Chains A and B, each alone.
Chain A
């Protein structure tokens, strides 16, 4: 029975990784659509919304079934606890991708202001954090997430920088208010995505060591 349970647990992890990669893909594609002002690409993100939601429901259900049927303990229990958090974080990341894609469709008819400020750079950093947190979950390793606290500080600084820069452009030219407000929102969503990567990292740390940490 233990062997069957561990096979199911491995399968759960594999499918959760698929969901995490989908969430990451939706965010990356939405940012690419924003940079290229590509409505079709943005629409392709929006259409994945149902898919990621269905995955969330199915995988959460699997976690609850594994708990109910096997009463897992020690690392087995921690893997399922972590998996539930990865599922939630992946859904949120994917949904932020969808929200950014919807913004793209609203503002793609006008040229970028200040070449999107630091948004592309911030997106790269946030997505790297997502990649590293997913890899840590996949490989049972905490090496790639050891510097998340510093990286999260950088993300916070970039969001503040984009906020200040956006306000400056809005004061200079009220016609830029809609675009700059949307840039500020995108920066906020990217910051939240990096926070979800931190959440995954905290839970991977717990999964591997049994110790709780908080990444500020």
Chain B
């Protein structure tokens, strides 16, 4: 990869209760690009994603070895400020999970936690984030309504706006469209394409067509190993590894 890397993993291994879930994963995530992680269920792609903002720390009996750097700083070091790390590396989950609060409050919550008190400034951040998440036009007249009243696709874009509000560098997305219909999925995909101008996006998806459509780079994982990683057009047109070929042509998985 010729682009500069924002995240680098070097020989990362991870065990849940002694069971190995990641094995010697070394890869580079290029800055301002969309990187997709694909592979069959249980191959470790979500586990790897959660390493990038240390979300696995929240799980008991997890052991991680190896090095993961963000902006060339090892995020595995004991002194790492995990709250700041998660501000820099935001996450959007499979199912939209808005807070049971107003639309405005969902987006303003993060900046407020990080010290923004001025109402005008919060309003500015909310509007900007909703614009970036391509949701502003749909909700600008009902910012004080409950976020739970939005459709699934709108809720997911609200979650993206909530992530953007704290100005992350990297956005992790774990199957962000799997609970959405095709139209809502298309909106999220268009949004991700726009977001890469300002952010680095790492997306886990089961949908290979989606990975092919959206990403610049693709990593194929199998049984905890990163089998192959490269430019998306190369991976989907002529993968180097037979295992990748067999997976993406539907011969297993």
Instruction: Decide whether A and B are members of one complex.
Output: yes
**Chain B residues, CB < 8 A from A5:** 250
Stretch at the interface among B73-81, B99-107, B231-239: B231-239
User: Whole-angstrom distance from the CB of A72 to the nearest CB of chain B?
Assistant: 7
Chain B residues packing against A (C-beta within 8 Å)? 208-209, 212, 236-239, 244-245, 248-251
Q: Which single member of B212, B238, B249 contacts A209 (CB below 8 Å)?
A: B238
User: Whole-angstrom distance from the CB of A141 to the nearest CB of chain B?
Assistant: 17
Inter-subunit contact B237/A78 (CB<8 Å): yes
Told that A71-B209, A74-B249, A78-B238 touch, could you supply 15 new A-B pairs with CB distance under 8 A?
A2-B249, A2-B250, A6-B250, A6-B251, A73-B208, A73-B212, A73-B248, A73-B249, A74-B237, A74-B239, A74-B244, A74-B245, A74-B248, A76-B249, A77-B237
**Chain B residues, CB < 8 A from A209:** 238
User: How many residues in A have their beta carbons less than 8 Å from beta carbons of B?
Assistant: 15
**Chain A residues, CB < 8 A from B244:** 74
Chain A residues packing against B (C-beta within 8 Å)? 1-2, 5-6, 71-78, 209-211
User: Whole-angstrom distance from the CB of B252 to the nearest CB of chain A?
Assistant: 9
A210 CA / B230 CA spacing, docked (Å): 15
Main secondary structure on A side of the interface with B:
helix
Inter-subunit contact B238/A210 (CB<8 Å): yes
Inter-subunit contact B251/A74 (CB<8 Å): no
Q: Which single member of A1, A2, A73 contacts B236 (CB below 8 Å)?
A: A73
Which partner residue on chain B sits nearest A81 by CB separation? B237
Inter-subunit contact B238/A211 (CB<8 Å): yes
Given the known A-B contacts A209-B238, A211-B238, are A75 and B250 also in contact in the complex, defined by CB atoms under 8 Å? Answer: no
**Chain A residues, CB < 8 A from B250:** 1-2, 5-6, 76
Which partner residue on chain A sits nearest B251 by CB separation? A2
Query: What are 30 A-B pairs at a CB distance below 8 A?
Result: A1-B250, A2-B249, A2-B250, A2-B251, A5-B250, A6-B250, A71-B209, A72-B249, A73-B208, A73-B212, A73-B237, A73-B248, A73-B249, A74-B236, A74-B237, A74-B238, A74-B239, A74-B244, A74-B245, A74-B248, A74-B249, A75-B249, A76-B249, A76-B250, A77-B236, A78-B237, A78-B238, A209-B238, A210-B237, A210-B238
